[in-house]
Structure 1
Amino acid sequence: MSEHLVTTPPEAFVEPAYGRRSLADVMPAVAAALGSPLDRTPTGLTLPDAPSYVVFLVDGLGARLLERYAHAAPYLSSLLAGSEPGTAGVPSTTATSLTSFGTGLGPGAHGLVGFTARVPGTGELLNHLWWDQNVDPLEWQPHPTSFATMSSAGIDVTVVNKREFRDSGLTMASARGASFVGADKVGERIAAAVSSSSARPSMTYLYDSDLDWTGHRWGVSSSQWLQQLAMVDAEAEQLRETLPPHVRLVVVADHGMVDSPTASRTDVDTETHLLDGVALLGGEARFRHLYCRSGAVDDVLTTWRESLAGNADVLTRSGAIARGWFGPVDARVLPRLGDVVVACRGDHGVFASEKFDYETTLVGLHGSLTADEMLIPVLVD
C-alpha cells in the first residue's frame, strides 16, 4: 500500500461571467441584435442581427445536464455544436437568475440575492419566489428592467408565462414593462410566441418551469426528469418549426441542478452547534446566508469551516464580494447578504429540518457554484 493517501481534489467552482457571458448579458445582446442597444457597457455576448427574437428560458436546464443526457433532447443537443455555455449568477437559483435575466444586472445590483434573504432591519426572511405582501417589489428592486427599456425604444416586448405568475412579486421585480400573456399549456405558449413575434422589431420571452420542478421532486438522474427533458425538447423543436424564418430563437436556462442524497446532508437542527451565534438562517440548502449575532461572525465562520471542511466554501460577506460572486453590490443590498455565506461542493446540502422541512423532501438542488449548477446553455437557431 502506498504510504501516501491519494485524494481527488474538489472540482473547481465556476465563477460567474458577469459582463462577458452570463445570463444577465442575454437581454442586452438581444437588444443590440434588434438594433436598439441598451444604454450600458457592451457585453461579451454577441447575437446575430434579426428583426424578431424569441427567448425560451427552460428552468433547470444546465448545460452539463443537456450534454450528459443529449440522447433525450436531440433537437437542443444538436445546437450545442459551436455554442459556448454561459453562466448563471450567484447564487444559482431561480429568483436571482430570472431577475438578472430581466434587468441585465448582477445580484448585488438588483438585490434578489437568493431563494430567501433577510429583510434589513428585521428578523424576517423574504422568499423571493412566494414573496410577501408587506414588501413592495418595486422598492425591493427599483431598477428598470431590460424589457421596459426595450419597450420604450420601440421594441414590441412580450412575456409568455403561466397565468398564476402574472402579478407575482417576482414578475413585478424581474419582468415589468412587458406585455404579459398568460399561457399554461405548451400549445398556448407556442401560439402566443408566433403571434407576438410577428411584430418587427419584437422580443418574446417564454418561460417553462416544469423541468425544474421535476428535478426537485425526482432528481436529475430519474426517468421522470428524462421524460420531462424529452418533452421540453419537443416543445423547443415545435416552437422553432412554427416560428417564421425571420425570427431568431434563443434557448437559455437559469441554472442547472445536482442530486443530493441523504448521506450528503447536514442538518443544523441536529448539529445544533452550527446555530451558535446565528440569528437567522437564509438562502437555501446549496447556498446559505448566515446572519450572525453581534460580534459572532468570526466564531460562526470558524465553526462552519471546521464542520463542513471539504463539503463547502465558507466565506465572510466581504470575502464573497471580493471573489466577485454577486457582481458590484449596492449599499442597499449589502445587509441582505449573509454575514457569512456557505457554498456547498459536490452533492452536499445544508438543511434545517424543522424550519425548512419542505427542502428535506427535495432530491435535486441548486444554488452553489459547481459546473452542473452554474453552466447554462446559450443556444441560437
Structure 2
Amino acid sequence: MVQPTAVAQGWPDDPIPLDPATAPLPAYGAGSLADLLPTLVAGQGVPGFEARISELAPADRVCVFLVDGLGWEQVRAHPDEAPFLTSLLAGSRGGTGLPLTAGFPATTATSLASVGTGLHPGAHGLPGYTVRDPDTGGLMNQLRWKPWTAPRVWQPYPTVFQLAHEAGIHTAQVSSPIFADTPLTKIALSGGSFHGRLSGEERMDFAAEQLAAGDRSLVYTYYSELDGAGHRFGISSDAWRGQLMFVDRLAQRLAEQLPPRAALYVTADHGMVDIPFDEDHRIDFDEDWELRAGVALLGGEGRARHVYAVPGAESDVLTCWREVVGDRFWVASRDEAIGLGWFGEHVDERVYGRIGDVVVAAADEDIAITASLNEPNESAMTGMHGSMTAAEQLVPLLEVRS
C-alpha cells in the first residue's frame, strides 16, 4: 500500500525520501497476471506447466476475457454500474472473485506480454510503455511498436497459446481486427487462430463458439474502450461509467453462452487513477531543470518512469531525483529495482539495458511526472496508471463456471 510521506524531526520542509524497499511488490509466482495462463493450461494437461494460483480448479474449456483498464478497486467502487461483475466478487452470493497483481509497471504492453507468455517483465523484456533500446540508444514504444524492431528478437520466448496449440488444445484469440497482425500480438498473444470481430457483442458470441469448438479449448478475448474512456475523461466521468456498464453486459452475455465443462475468467491489465491538472499533482519534466540535469532520455510514463542518465551521471541523477520527488515516489537505481524484485525473480541479460538507470514509481495516487513538450498526448490524459499502488496494480479475477 502507499506509504505516508516521512518528515525529518525539526525540519518540516525537508521530507525524507521513501525507501524503495517499501514499495508493495506484485505477487509474482502465485498471484500475478503472469501466473494465470500457466495455471489454466496446467489444468488442461499441457506439458511443462504447473498450477501457480491455487484457488483455480481445472476446466476443459477456458476463456479469458481481458478488459483493458478494469481495476479491482474500480469494480468494487461501482456496484450499480457493474451488477454482474459485482456478483462475482468474493463475499457476494456465490462469488469467488479475488484480485491478481498486474506486475510492474502496470501498463498494457507489459501486462499483455505477462499474460501471454506467462513470464515476468524481466524475462519477456517489455518492462515499460517506452524503454531504451540498447542497440540503438533510442526509445522504443512497446505498445505502438515504434520504431519498428524485429519482434522475435525483442521477445524470443514462445507464448502459452503457442504451446497449448502444439499440445492439442483448440486455441483462439477473438479481438478487434486492428490487432490481427501487430507485433505485440505476435510476441504476446499469438498461437492457434486469430479472429477479428468489430463489436464487443460479436466478440462475446464468437468467443463462446470457439470455446465450444474443442473438447479442450483456450480462448482469449479483449475489450479496450474502457481504458480509452479512462485516459481521456477519467474514472470519475460519466463516459467511463457508461463503458463499465457496457463491459458488465458483455461479460454477462458471454457467461450465459458457456458450453459444458467451461470456465470464464474476467480480468484486466491494470487499474487507473485520475491525476488533477495542476502543478502540485503534475510535475513537468520538460520544465524542471533539476530533474533534467544529467538525463539523456526519459522513458516509461507519468506514474512509472525509466530515467536514462548521461554516461557517468547515473549517481548524480539518482541523488537528484530522490531529493526532488523522493517523498512521493519510490526512486531506485536499476540494480536496486532489479534486486528488490520489481520486474520479477530475474532479469534477462538482453533486458537489463532496457531498464532505466533510475526507476521511479509513484507512491501517491494523485501525482505524475509528465513531459508536456515531448509527450503532449500522454501529458493531456486525465486517467493514468503504471505504478505499484493498489488502484493500479490490483486487477480482478472473476470466475464463472458451467
TM-score by length of 1: 0.95
The offset of 1:40, in angstroms, is: 4.3
Correspondence 1:372 to 2:386: no
Q: Report matched runs for 1:1-381 at 5 Å.
A: 13-36=23-46, 38-40=47-49, 42-81=51-90, 82-132=96-146, 134-198=148-212, 199-263=214-278, 264-327=281-344, 328-346=346-364, 347-381=366-400
The code of the aligned residue for 2:267 comes to: V
Deviates more, 1:371-380 or 1:62-71: 62-71
Q: CA deviation at 1:34?
A: 2.0
Once residues 45 and 126 of structure 1 are traced to their aligned partners in structure 2, the CA distance between those partners, rounded to angstroms, is 36
- Judge conservation of contact 1:123–1:280 (CA < 8 Å) in 2: no
Alignment root-mean-square deviation, CA: 1.9
The residue type equivalent to 2:28 in the other structure is: Y
**SS of residue paired to 1:158:** strand
Secondary structure, counterpart of 1:377 in structure 2 = strand
Contact in 2 for aligned 1:128/1:169 (Cα 8 Å): no
Query: In 1, distance between residues paired with 2:24 and 2:65?
Result: 24
CA contact (8 A) 2:208 2:258 kept: yes
Q: Is the 8 A contact 2:69 2:270 kept in 1?
A: yes
How far is 1:247 from its partner? 1.8
Deviations 1:193-232, CA, capped at 9 Å, x for gaps: 1211111100100011111111000101111111110110
Distance 1:18 1:214, change over 3 A: same
Partner Cα separation in structure 2 for residue 51 and residue 122 of structure 1: 45
- Is the contact made by 1:286 and 1:348 (CA closer than 8 Å) also made in structure 2? yes
* Matched position secondary structure for 2:330: strand
Asked if 2 retains the 8 angstrom alpha-carbon contact of 1:29 and 1:46, the reply is: no
How far apart, in 2, do the equivalents of 1:331 and 1:231 lie?
Answer: 43
SS across alignment from 2:331: strand
Amino acid at match of 1:256: G
The alignment-based identity, stated in percent, is: 46
The AA in structure 1 aligned to 2:65 is F
1:95 deviates by: 0.2
Aligned residues between the structures? 376
Separation (CA, whole Å) in 1 of partners of 2:153 and 2:215:
33
Q: Deviations over 1:78-97 (max 9, x none)?
A: 11123321101100000000
Q: Could you tell me how far apart the structure 2 residues matched to 1:83 and 1:240 are?
A: 14
Structure 1 residue 367: deviation in Å? 0.4
Residues 24, 106 of structure 1: 8 Å contact kept: yes
TM-score using structure 2 length: 0.90
Instruction: Give the C-alpha shift of residue 41 in structure 1.
Output: 5.2
Q: Distance in 2 between matches of 1:13 and 1:373?
A: 13
Tell me, in whole angstroms, the C-alpha distance in 2 between the residues paired with 1:145 and 1:288.
Answer: 27
- 1:46 CA displacement: 4.2
State the distance in 2 between where 1:276 and 1:295 align.
12
What displacement does 1:14 show?
Answer: 3.1
| Contact 1:35–1:49, Cα closer than 8 Å, also in 2 | no
Identify unmatched segments of 5+ residues in structure 1: none
Shift of 1:42: 4.0
Q: Once the 2 structures are TM-superposed, how far is the Cα of residue 70 of structure 1 from its aligned partner?
A: 2.0
Report the 3-state secondary structure (helix = DSSP H, G, I; strand = E; otherwise coil) of the residue aligned with 1:71.
coil
- Given that 2:39 and 2:50 are in contact with CA atoms closer than 8 Å, whether structure 1 keeps it comes out as no
